Homo-oligomer: A and B are copies of this chain.
Amino acid sequence: MDTKLAVFALGGINEIGKNMYVIQYEDDIVVVDCGSKFPDESLLGVDLIIQDITYLKEHRENVRALIVTHGHEDHIGGIPYFLKQMNVPVYATRLTLGLIELRLKEHGLLRDTKLTLIDGDSTVDLGTISATFFKTNHSIPDCLGIAFETPEGTVVHTGDFKFDLTPVNDDYADLHKMAEIGKKGVLLLLSESTNAERPGFSQSERVVGKHIADAFREAEGKIFISTFASNVHRVQQIIEAAQMTNRKIALLGRSMVNVVSVADELGYLDIPEDMLIEPQEVDQMDPENVVVICTGSQGEPMAALSRLSTNNFRQVSVYPGDTVIFASSPIPGNEKSVSRIIDNLYRLGAKVIYGTGGATGMHVSGHAYREELKLMLSLMKPTYFIPIHGEYRMLQLHKEMAESIGVESENIFILNNGDVLDIHEGVARQTRNVEAGNVFVDGLGIGDVGKVVLRDRKLLSEEGMLIIVVSMSKGDGRIISNPDTISRGFVYERDANELYKEVNELVVSTIKEAKPSTRYRRNDMKHAIRKAVEKLLYTRTKRRPMILPFIIEI
């Protein structure tokens, strides 16, 4: 292999979530981000999805750093699992480190991990690669893009970004530094594609602040407002609106309490003294003087808002006349759970402010729209381009945008996770790939739930199962105890006695009529029973439950 520079993803391409990108120059490997992803409903029972890091484990001694662009789940959620497999120094900004530390504590990893604080002005030398950074805007503070200087040229990774030209807390993006990097020449750009389908330019987070303030002025009872805890700027704007309307604030939900406390400690939030009250104080106060900031804006069934909507939150209740604000937009797939919560809040008599796609002005996206993506491409003017963070159609649309601003079509690579882009003496080729895929976390197990288990779960979930236990004599193959049949998830047992009787009779006759060559082979006999019962059940019910015959040989 004469390749010196190699770039690839272990997660984040053709998907939203579980981001992980790798930049390698000769023997130096740098990893960008280590996110997790939530399973969709087809992955029954899976808790979390993380990356297959086989390649990194095989080159363990070459991995110089994990650099984390920002503190969202899809960029930090896999870190504890990653660090358990290989101890790598972690570099991130202050808030990002604060959020990573929360995770490491939970997993008992804090003491053994080397954490290094960086900011937009840092330079990190990692062997032949050196990393510099530029600040970006996003829906969490303290986000970085990265420019990797390599002997082959500069590789830029945008992280998640938008251009917010009037950011909250004057948290400006490093527009000039981006321009400088672009002017010096970018060999390869990796840029996020989440909103490649949305035309125009995203709105500033400040717009949300204005709408929140208006709603607070109009509200009569208590105010409940739900947003992502990590959207610290939005939380700050809620605090300001509360102060303006003489309301105290209670925080509900574990992540809200944790993240606000980290952000406050690290100076990202400005909370007036005596502003925060405890949940148990809420119902003792005049409703006009309270704001509850809570988790659950995506309809998560165990989060605060969901429990409030069914009157199942121990200390706090929603009363008729209270206002509930969704400062959020449902992520695709969550629409139904969110609607269910809205319905329940209406049932409690609340005034609910919700809407999709920013209709209420209570939410703006943290990701660049099409004109912003073109702006980034124009600033960086890369020779090569890999659209990242997006499903296929978004990558394709981002490719078309890159072409429109002058990147050569054959210099744009829509990759799969694991596809390696090798660049040598200015020429890029995609001809090889490394292992990549989904690793499922279920309970304590990492990777022990795979295709077979999921296929069985799916079958069980749709048709249930039927177990038949029969004991036979090892000696003469005669039936010792009559078949015993039970089912789960198939039909309601009390209604199915007739059917079970039929099944048991069929099992007996199948055994009795079996040729001796079948009867004495336990697996053949089981197979014959399974086939016969399957046929009977399908005729009777048009269903195909999993059938599990047990033969006890005595």
7 additional A-B residue pairs with CB within 8 Å, beyond A346-B392, A460-B489, A484-B550: A41-B41, A45-B489, A453-B490, A457-B464, A461-B461, A469-B469, A481-B554
- Specify which chain B residues have a CB less than 8 angstroms from the CB of A456 in the assembled complex: 464, 488-489
Check if B40 sits within 8 Å of A336, measured CB to CB.
yes
**Can you report 21 residue pairs joining A to B where beta carbons are below 8 Å apart?**
A333-B336, A343-B392, A346-B392, A346-B393, A346-B396, A347-B392, A443-B543, A445-B543, A448-B495, A448-B496, A449-B492, A453-B490, A457-B489, A467-B467, A467-B548, A467-B550, A469-B469, A469-B552, A484-B552, A488-B546, A552-B552
Give the residues in chain B near A213, CB-CB below 8 Å: none
The answer to whether B469 and A464 have CB atoms under 8 Å apart is: no
How close is A390's CB to chain B, nearest CB, in angstroms? Answer: 10
Taken residue by residue from 367 to 395, chain A's Cβ proximity to chain B (1 for < 8 Å, 0 otherwise) reads as 00000000000000000000000011100
Contact indicator per residue, chain A 106-148, by CB within 8 Å of chain B (1) or not (0): 0000000000000000000000000000000000000000000
In the complex, how many angstroms separate the beta carbon of A204 from the nearest chain B beta carbon?
A: 23
For A543, list chain B residues within 8 Å (CB). Answer: 45, 442-445
Query: Is A1 engaged at the interface, CB distance under 8 Å to the other chain?
Result: no
> Are the C-beta atoms of A541 and B445 separated by less than 8 Å?
yes
Count how many chain A residues have C-beta atoms less than 8 Å from C-beta atoms of the other chain. 65
Digit string of A459-495 for contact with B (CB within 8 Å is 1, else 0)?
A: 0111111010101000000001100101011111101
Shortest Cβ gap from A15 to chain B (Å): 10
* Distance, CA A514 to CA B524, complexed state (A): 36
Q: Are B346 and A471 in contact (CB under 8 A)?
A: no
Q: How far is the CA of A480 from the CA of B421 in the complex (A)?
A: 62
The interface bits of chain A over 491-518 (1 if a CB of B lies within 8 angstroms of the residue's CB, else 0) are 1110110000000000000000000000
CB distance from A159 to the nearest CB of B (A): 23
Chain B residues with CB below 8 A from A484, complex form: 550, 552
A542→B462 CA distance, assembly (Å): 24
Q: Contacts A332-B339, A445-B541, A469-B469: A488 and B548 contacting too (C-beta < 8 A)?
A: yes
Query: In the complex, what distance in Å separates the CA atom of A453 from the CA atom of B466?
Result: 12
Question: How far, in whole Å, are A457 and B461 apart by their CA atoms in the complex?
Answer: 5
Q: Which residues of B contact A462 (CB under 8 A)?
A: 44-45, 457
1/0 per residue, CB under 8 A from B, across A423-463: the answer is 00000000000000000001111001110111011101111
Q: Tell which of B392, B488, B548, B553 touches A460, judged by Cβ atoms closer than 8 Å.
A: B488
The contact string, 1 if C-beta is below 8 Å from chain B, for chain A 28-62, is 00000000000011001100000000000000000
**Complex contact A554–B346 (CB within 8 A):** no
* A127, chain B: closest CB distance, angstroms: 37
Q: Which residues of B contact A469 (CB under 8 A)?
A: 469, 550, 552
Query: Is A540 part of the binding interface, using a Cβ–Cβ cutoff of 8 Å?
Result: yes
| Residue of B whose beta carbon sits closest to that of A464 | B457
Interface string of A392-413 (1 = CB under 8 A from B): 1100100000000000000000
- Specify which chain B residues have a CB less than 8 angstroms from the CB of A546 in the assembled complex: 488
Shortest A321–chain B CB gap in Å is: 14
Q: Kindly list chain B residues whose C-beta atoms are within 8 Å of the C-beta of A481.
A: 552-554
Evaluate contact between A393 and B339: CB separation under 8 angstroms: yes
A472 vs chain B, min Cβ distance (A): 11
Residues in B whose Cβ lies below 8 Å from that of A41: 41
Q: Are B548 and A480 in contact (CB under 8 A)?
A: no
Cβ of A265 under 8 Å from chain B: no
